Structure 1
């Protein structure tokens, strides 16, 4: 399954640890072990990473998830892992006073402030990929050269993990009815991964 990847970025450990946590909730131990073994990360099941990880590890893990689980299970695991990651960020990375302020602001302004912060820290989830935001004609997030789907080929968008992280953060900090939908994915032939954000 291994495939050469020309990249050198590093990503926060949540991209691995939360997948492991979500897998534990959704599949049996044998499948958990198969996914992590295929990604050459079986040691992380017993020793979860606590530092930044090589983005190649994340690419292999998300490839293995899609290869060893059916499409619905892989999607469910990815979505849960994304929500768990967002919960971690809310609990440990986004200061409480900032969260309170964002909730008090009009949604468009809160979104701009939140996305500015996300952009400054995008290397922690996009690695060597590039994160950008388009505000007009509609709010859209873009990740070029996404490590999450770099090894994947699919008929539909597969970056459910990213979509869930963005959506949960927006629902908690910007507008509770926010929806984030991946409208284009590099794994499905798109030039980049695009995420449409709306709350009306």
Structure 2
């Protein structure tokens, strides 16, 4: 029996499209943009290097006592900038990608309802990806902050996921953090996802960041 939109919403942990939550003011970002970046830095370079970078961003307090609620978007922006300023570009990208991967892992473990984690991978990728895009859009302000998120899925045979953030406040060249988050989520819940392609980037002077993934199934 086909599920209604309300039934799908309950599985994904939200209501109907009319229940979408607006971004608060000032714009805020989920704390894992900071927490998981600290863990990635510590794992790759040690706690001392992580502390140095956090302190240079004015966020040393968060390394000692990780935030437990949403943070002002300027905090992860400053942290990402400090990483890029203090590490070679390839190493900065490595840290941000690892932080994005860890953030997605946290989301899968703590923010995706168990029933959705069980059902979505069993659905056709064209259906699973559309449901996941809908769920992400409802909570987009937690990672897009003051940016405007749009997501859509093209094609049914080989679904192509296109995710956009207009005015992305967390943009860095190539957006390895966002790319890792999206690839991990879609790869886990919607079948095997090809490496995320970053087609446009606010960090390159464009007005939006665009990431595409191909969900091909197992």
Q: Is the shorter-chain TM-score for this pair beyond 0.5, marking a shared fold?
A: yes
Contact residue 58 and residue 147 of structure 1 kept, 8 A: no
How many pairs align? 188
User: Is the radius of gyration larger for structure 1 or structure 2?
Assistant: 2
Name the CA distance, whole Å, in 1 between partners of 2:152 and 2:181. 18
Is 2:183 the partner of 1:126?
A: no
Q: Does 1:179 align with 2:201?
A: no
Within a 5 Å distance, the mapping from 1:1-200 to structure 2 comes to 8-136=26-154, 138-149=160-171, 156-157=173-174, 159-200=175-216
Q: Distance in 2 between matches of 1:144 and 1:197?
A: 18
What RMSD over aligned residues (CA atoms) do the two structures have, in Å? 1.6
Pairwise CA distance, 1:178: 3.3
CA distance in 1, matches of 2:193, 2:169: 28
Q: CA deviation at 1:29?
A: 3.9
Where 1:8 maps in the other structure, the secondary structure is coil
Q: TM-score, normalised by structure 2?
A: 0.81
Structure 2 Cα separation of the partners of residues 164 and 93 of structure 1: 17
Deviates more, 1:32-41 or 1:122-131: 32-41
Over 6 Å off, 4+ runs: none
Which runs of 5 or more residues in structure 1 are unaligned? 1-6
SS of structure 2 residue aligned to 1:139: strand
Structure 2: stretches of 5+ with no match in the other structure: 1-24
How much does 1:133 deviate? 1.4
Measured after TM superposition, the shift of residue 51 of structure 1 is 0.7
Structure 2: distance between partners of 1:178 and 1:119? 21
Q: Distance in 2 between matches of 1:177 and 1:117?
A: 18
| TM-score (structure 1 length as normaliser) | 0.88
Partners in 1 of 2:193 and 2:142 — Cα distance? 26
Q: Distance in 1 between matches of 2:201 and 2:44?
A: 25
